[in-house]
A and B are shown apart, each in its own frame.
Chain A
Amino acid sequence: MASTGAQSLTETAARLRESKRWIPGEAGIWAFILMDMCTFAFFFATFARERGRDPEAFAQGRETLSATFGAANTFLLLTASLCVALAVRLVREGNGRLAQRFLLGSGACGAVFVVNKVVEWSGKLSAGHEPNDNDFYQLFFTFTGIHLLHVLIAMVVLVYLWRVAGSVKVAPTAHQARFFENGASYWHLVDLLWLVLFALLYLMA
């Protein structure tokens, strides 16, 4: 049974969310997220520009990619994001145990994404396509590589989220809730960046 203290904390948090002045997690994580999005925006524009300069090389490069791989990876990250979003909700409700199960789901999706990426890259490399072949491959490996680093960091973040969820019994403390929201927001960043990369790298005809 929720103690008065925990219940009023949950209510306060809910009221804050309804106040339209709320920031999920902390301002700092959003400063990072927005900065990262701007960095990638520059990558996206660069890709589009370079593609315009050498359409044949980019079309050929794209032919060597498997849109199926790309789509599968998109489905994985979207599902990982869903699991994280549901875990946030569960943590707020004080259900740390169930939240941990969903986080394991996110971890599984993330792990498969990493494996897919390794398989895809080794396939390219063994077919003789290397980062310095042409602009397409340079950008392909660079952008998916930087994104992969983000995913690996996200997997580490997941461990911390799992631990915090484990210590939530009745309701999260304000600090736990903020930490959890920070980590969750980072996961969604990793997901959203891939949504654009998938379209740019795999789907542009």
Chain B
Amino acid sequence: MTALLRSYAVLAWAILMGLTAISWWVGSEHDVGGMSMKTATSLVLIAAFAKVALVGHSFMELRHAARPLQVAFWGWCVMVATVVVAVYLTG
């Protein structure tokens, strides 16, 4: 059990939970160091896709996977994050 608790999956989970909590807080429109709403929201969106990338790396074990699969998955993360943030900022 101890080995399980010290596994990469648990570490990744803790990071994902933390990022979720932070995003939730930022998204609740607390004054985040005087950051503009556009900046804060963009960061929340980028964080969401970073979390997806981490889910892929850790839970889905893509860190061990064949290169084409890694490219497809993380490529999706980068491309869709870019499109969504771009549409948001130019909307």
Report how far A203 CA is from B44 CA in the complex, Å: 7
- Contacts A71-B21, A199-B45; is A85 near B52 (CB within 8 Å)? no
Which A residues form the contact surface with B (CB < 8 A)?
17-18, 20-24, 30, 34, 37-38, 41, 44-45, 48-49, 51-53, 55, 67, 70-71, 74-75, 78-79, 81-82, 84-86, 89-90, 184-185, 188, 191-192, 195-196, 198-200, 202-205
Shortest Cβ gap from A154 to chain B (Å):
14
Please tell me if the beta carbons of A22 and B65 are within 8 angstroms of each other in the complex: yes
In the assembled complex, the CB of A64 is this many whole angstroms from the nearest CB of chain B, namely 15
Complex: chain A residue closest to B37, CB-CB? A205
The contact sample of 7 A-B pairs, CB cut-off 8 A, is A30-B72, A48-B91, A82-B13, A85-B9, A199-B27, A203-B23, A204-B45
Band of interface residues on B = 35 or more
Q: Shortest beta-carbon distance, B58 to chain A, in Å?
A: 7
Q: A191 and B76: CB pair below 8 A?
A: no
Whether the Cβ atoms of B66 and A20 lie closer than 8 Å is yes
Residues of A within 8 A of B72 (CB): 30, 34
With A20-B67, A78-B13 as given contacts, are A48 and B88 in contact (CB-CB < 8 Å)?
yes
Look across to chain B and name the residue whose beta carbon is closest to the beta carbon of A37.
Answer: B76
**Inside 8 A of A82's CB, which chain B residues have their CB?**
9-10, 13, 59
Task: Point out the residues of chain A lying under 8 angstroms from B13, CB to CB.
Answer: 78-79, 81-82
Partner among A24, A85, A191, A205 whose Cβ is within 8 Å of the Cβ of B27: A205
Q: Is the CB of B66 within 8 A of A205?
A: no
Which A residues lie within 8 Å of B90 (CB)? 52
Contact A67 B64 (CB under 8 A): no
Rounded to whole Å, the gap between the CB of B89 and the closest CB of chain A is: 9
**B64 near A205: Cβ-Cβ < 8 Å:** no
- Tell me the smallest distance from the CB of A110 to a CB of chain B, in Å: 15
In whole angstroms, how far apart are the Cα atoms of A84 and B67 in the complex? 24
How far, in whole Å, are A30 and B91 apart by their CA atoms in the complex?
33
Cα–Cα, bound, A52→B84 (Å): 11
| B87 in contact with A202 (CB, 8 Å) | no
Q: When each residue 6-47 of chain B gets 1 if its CB lies under 8 Å from chain A and 0 otherwise, what string results?
A: 010110010011001101101111000000010011001101
Pair A84/B84 contact, Cβ less than 8 Å: no
**Which residues of chain B are near A81, meaning CB under 8 Å?**
13, 55, 59
Per-residue CB proximity of B56-87 to A under 8 Å, as 1/0? 10111110111101001100100110011001
